[in-house]
């Protein structure tokens, strides 16, 4: 399901009170999904070569994917995925979540260690993938005000 961060599907926060709303919403859902457990924070690094680039955090290289398989090697694109395991706690990822909300960082899902529940924040909201339709419906019903008004739910 998709949650929008700000009322009326506003995409970007403009002041600290709106950032507080965005971070509280992200953290509320993250708490519901991961409280008391560890999470994986998966960060993509895009590159034009197969060699794994250095990464500036304590995350370890997980895998590399060929995303654009152009016949000419100079036009191929690789996505190198780095993963960090962390005990979840409210506010732990606020700096990263704020960068995501500002579209400075993208494509960073947070998942439980079995990769059964996924929270994928983006600038403007978050997509949430849950294990059952019942769990999805309960989460959706707790946060009806955060859902899109569009018929498709997007």
pLDDT in tens, 101-138: 999 999 999 999 999 999 999 999 999 999 999 999 99
Please tell me the total number of residues recorded for the chain in this structure: 154
Are 80 and 99 within one domain?
no
Domain boundary among 26, 54, 86: 86
Question: Do the strands 38-47 and 60-68 form a parallel or antiparallel pair, or are they unpaired?
Answer: unpaired
Are 109 and 131 within one domain?
yes
Helical segments of 47-145, H only: 94-101, 133-142
Helical segments of the chain, H only: 16-34, 94-101, 133-142
pLDDT for 107? 95
pLDDT for 74? 80
pLDDT for 83? 96
Are 30 and 16 within one domain?
yes
Are 140 and 72 within one domain?
no
Are 92 and 154 within one domain?
yes
Residues 6+ apart with CB under 8 A from 108: 41, 42, 43, 44, 96, 100, 120, 121
- Domain range for 126: 1-37+88-154
Are 50 and 28 within one domain?
no
Q: Are 5 and 26 in contact (CB under 8 A)?
A: yes
Are 105 and 31 within one domain?
yes
- Taking the C-alpha atoms of residue 121 and residue 17, their distance in angstroms, rounded to an integer, is 19
pLDDT band at 84 (very low <50, low <70, confident <90, very high): very high
Are 92 and 23 within one domain?
yes
Range in 10-24, 59-73, 88-102, 108-122 the model is least confident about: 59-73
Average pLDDT value for residue range 74-88:
92
Q: What is the domain count for the chain? A: 2
Are 80 and 93 within one domain?
no
26-69 pLDDT, tens per residue?
999 999 999 999 999 999 999 888 888 887 678 899 999 998 88
């Amino acid at each position: 399901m998709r949650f929008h961060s700000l009322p009326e599907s506003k995409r970007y926060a403009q002041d600290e009170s709106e950032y507080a709303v965005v971070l509280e919403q992200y953290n509320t859902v993250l708490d519901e999904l991961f409280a008391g457990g560890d999470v994986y924070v998966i960060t993509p690094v895009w590159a034009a070569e197969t060699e794994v680039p250095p990464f500036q955090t304590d995350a370890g290289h997980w895998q590399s994917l060929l995303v654009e398989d152009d016949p000419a090697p100079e036009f191929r694109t690789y996505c190198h995925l780095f993963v960090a395991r962390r005990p979840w706690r409210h506010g732990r990822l606020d700096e990263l979540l704020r960068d995501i909300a500002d579209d400075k960082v993208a494509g960073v899902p947070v998942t439980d260690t079995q990769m059964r529940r996924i929270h994928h924040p983006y600038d403007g909201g978050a997509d949430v993938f849950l294990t059952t339709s019942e769990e999805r419906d309960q989460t959706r019903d707790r946060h009806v005000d955060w859902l899109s008004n569009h018929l498709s739910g997007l």
